[in-house]
Structure 1
């Protein structure tokens, strides 16, 4: 009896020790925790939908996601330093200078959408102003001013080149996107002529009847404000840091129409997280293709 009891105890102890050992081995060889990824966010409305969508998908993939809000220059500097991993809303060629400046540490990994336009915008009721050259000699109708976004944005440097190229007697009044739009909206509600900076995708084109002025001469000679392509930019360490996230973002794409629709919904008071989740729910096949590279 004692011998049988001893054997049973020995077997039980062996099982316990084996179980602990197996548990320890499992912890040692299990999957490592995925890193936190930081997404740069500017105050442009076009940045919000793709950033929210990508962020939610990355979280579903097991990553912690943080957003850093900053101006474009700071976002690119942060990527070059490794403080920011990804920026979902890089405009080419307007922001090409940052890619060139930080080419050792950042890279374009995919294209979100193309045929996005930007430049000088006027309301459609300014029927005689259709090309930038039409402003020459008529600058006083807009009080010799162009309302614009922050001067730190590289597009504003290109915009100044356009003004200089045509030798326009126009001063740029730089402010935030919200302040620019509020000022332009105030003028349009009164039916006044107004000149401001605009781009698509943006809800301003859904809310008002606007036109982006053509600039055929300067586009041909200087290559400024042609149609833009929107890129996803990442720190070059992302592939090693988060290979699954890198694969997903390398396959990223979205239509400009979808982005513009979401911007309009958010501007009308919808929750950005809910708008992003709705897009994800309605595009599950596309999401899986982007995640799996199929």
Structure 2
């Protein structure tokens, strides 16, 4: 009888222990599942972000850098290549979330048009000078006014980029203000630079539309002309990051990062030159990231 009672007690204890073990394993699995779901939900909550990307050389490095950093933060990032008008239309409709290369005052008309849905988030850099430029060997031409009476030496031309770019609209204003016998010749950025390079190779006089940041100042020995008569035209610019106003709510971490964004213009110009010389844009961007991690941590609020 005692043996029977002992056997029953042992069986009961084994059943209880098995039940506790199964319960603990089940709870552990449940906890792991919940943790996995929470992690998955957190990842799923981050929306896909789309950058507007114009064909300008100044747009490429900051866009590549921001893209890499946001991808490291867990976002999926796309790019939409288009001209400025299409980029701003996309920003207004939230099909484009961020644009890294908004110039002020040149592009004010776009921000004014879409101010209900698009806003400036941060300033990349100031003192982005632009205007008419000439080679350094044109020693007697230092101000726009110095071109008066010498227009035929440059074939009565100012070489410029696409007529649709708002920045070049100040060239005719300056020509009229100084009563210069010059005509603006519009073409692509690449065509303008190719024509300039040919002139400089032969040390011929040439006037072109120049702006910083750009590799032209590293590639060519050129100078921007001063503009003493009408300084409100062809003046310095500030370059900003703009975004759709919904970004702060939809992607708060991304918004905090770009709201702290800034970059020295000299760094940007150096990267543009490297890319123009054939280096991979993503590798150039990654090198800048590796060399500026403290700055990036501050942008991310860390």
TM > 0.5 between the two? yes
The reply on whether 1:88 has 2:88 as its aligned counterpart is no
**Does the 8 Å CA contact 1:121/1:210 hold for their aligned counterparts?**
yes
**Does the 8 Å CA contact 2:43/2:74 hold for their aligned counterparts?**
no
State the partner residue of 2:259: 250
In the TM superposition, residue 28 of structure 1 has moved relative to its aligned partner by 4.9
**Does the 8 Å CA contact 1:150/1:177 hold for their aligned counterparts?**
yes
**Does the 8 Å CA contact 2:51/2:96 hold for their aligned counterparts?**
yes
What is the TM-score of this pair, normalised by structure 2? 0.89
Cα 1:159/1:74, change in 2 over 3 Å: farther
The reply on whether 1:135 has 2:147 as its aligned counterpart is yes
**Does the 8 Å CA contact 2:49/2:75 hold for their aligned counterparts?**
yes
**Does the 8 Å CA contact 1:148/1:197 hold for their aligned counterparts?**
yes
In the TM superposition, residue 29 of structure 1 has moved relative to its aligned partner by 3.9
Matches within 5 A, 1:98-177: 98-177=110-189
How many residues of Structure 1 are paired with residues of Structure 2 in the alignment?
Answer: 290
CA distance in 2, matches of 1:77, 1:162: 30
**Does the 8 Å CA contact 2:103/2:239 hold for their aligned counterparts?**
yes
State the partner residue of 1:47: 59
**Does the 8 Å CA contact 1:144/1:171 hold for their aligned counterparts?**
yes
Deviation digits for residues 125-147 of structure 1 (CA, Å, limit 9, x no counterpart): 12222222222333222222221
State the partner residue of 1:210: 222
Aligned with 1:72 (options 73, 84, 87): 84
**Does the 8 Å CA contact 1:94/1:158 hold for their aligned counterparts?**
no
Question: Partner of 2:59: helix, strand, or coil?
Answer: helix
In the TM superposition, residue 166 of structure 1 has moved relative to its aligned partner by 2.9
Cα 1:167/1:81, change in 2 over 3 Å: farther
CA distance in 2, matches of 1:55, 1:125: 41
Question: Partner of 1:151: helix, strand, or coil?
Answer: coil
Extract unaligned runs of 5+ from structure 1. Answer: none
State the partner residue of 1:234: 243
Moved more, 247-256 or 14-23: 14-23
